[in-house]
């Protein structure tokens, strides 16, 4: 049976460019049956039939003269949301597979004030996630994180090079051998919650980069709420977060 690279077969099937097909696979939204296609250059049979699960549209939760609050769906970069809203500027970022509250400022005065609040850690951020194993007690993880950004960012616990990172964990629910937790972060290091949870032996479900052994359509992490300059905004939990399986 003849074989060809996955992205080339996908391009032929959809009638799109090889570059666009590779982007779809890299985004993590291309499947064969129930299995995600993870490697764009993987050799696959010529007759392979692909399925693309396109991301949902971003929902505007709130807007006024100063800011826009967006419920970011998974599989979309924060920069893509910013590009969709040319009058607004990102105040922070969420990882591609993370869903939830994303804030953008609409004028220079507000952006300056908001970014200063982030810098001084005067922003309250709450996440919810499903993790491997049983988390039965509240805990605080205070471990410095060092990030290497060469192409795909990767972070790790490093007492010497790392920057201070603090995550507070609160157990919410257990289903089988998975736990739903709420995480409140004092700092905003790259992949902070993911690295801290992996460090204590409870990687986020679907987060293969940091040790999850469970296949999932995405990393099950959701930015549920954020408080900035005296205002609180929340994004409803999507179905895959509200209830595991």
Give the bridge partners for 222, in sequence order: 99, 128
**Cα torsion through 147, 137, 127, 56, rounded to 10:** 110
- Specify whether the backbone of 14 is left (phi greater than 0), alpha (psi in -120 to 50) or beta: alpha
Q: Is 95 marked active-site?
A: yes
For residue 207, is it left (φ>0), alpha (ψ between -120 and 50) or beta?
beta
Phi, psi of 238 (to 5 degrees): -70, 170
Q: Please pick, among 64, 95, 142, 240, the residue that the annotation labels catalytic.
A: 95
Query: What distances in angstroms separate CA 188 from CA 68, 92, 160, 162, 221, one per listed residue?
Result: 20, 9, 18, 13, 15
Structure tokens at 241: 């977060």
Give the other-Cβ count within 10 Å of 49's Cβ: 10
Beta bridge partners of 228: 231
**Alpha-carbon gap, residue 77 to 154, rounded angstroms:** 17
Beta-carbon contacts of 141 under 8 Å, excluding residues fewer than 6 positions away, are 165, 166, 167, 168, 169, 196, 199, 200
Active site residues: 95
């Amino acid at each position: 049976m003849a074989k060809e690279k996955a992205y080339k077969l996908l391009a032929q099937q959809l009638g799109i460019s090889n570059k666009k097909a590779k982007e779809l696979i890299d985004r993590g939204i291309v499947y064969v049956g129930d299995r995600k296609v993870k490697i764009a250059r993987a050799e696959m049979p010529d007759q392979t039939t692909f399925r693309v699960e396109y991301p949902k549209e971003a929902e505007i939760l709130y807007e006024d003269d100063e800011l826009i609050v967006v419920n970011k769906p998974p599989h979309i970069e924060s920069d893509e949301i910013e590009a969709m809203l040319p009058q607004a500027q990102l105040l922070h970022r969420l990882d591609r597979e993370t869903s939830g509250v994303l804030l953008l400022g609409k004028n220079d005065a507000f952006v300056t004030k908001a970014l200063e609040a982030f810098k001084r850690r005067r922003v309250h951020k709450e996440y919810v996630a499903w993790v491997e194993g049983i988390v039965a007690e509240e805990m605080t993880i205070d471990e410095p994180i060092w990030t290497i950004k060469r192409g795909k960012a990767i972070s790790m616990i490093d007492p010497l090079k790392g920057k201070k990172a603090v995550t507070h964990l609160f157990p919410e629910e257990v289903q089988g051998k998975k736990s739903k937790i709420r995480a409140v972060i004092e700092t905003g290091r790259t992949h902070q919650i993911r690295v801290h949870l992996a460090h204590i032996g409870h990687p986020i479900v679907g987060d293969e980069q940091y040790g999850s052994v469970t296949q999932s359509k995405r990393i099950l992490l959701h930015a549920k709420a954020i408080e900035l300059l005296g205002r609180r905004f929340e994004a409803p939990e999507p179905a895959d977060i509200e209830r595991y399986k």
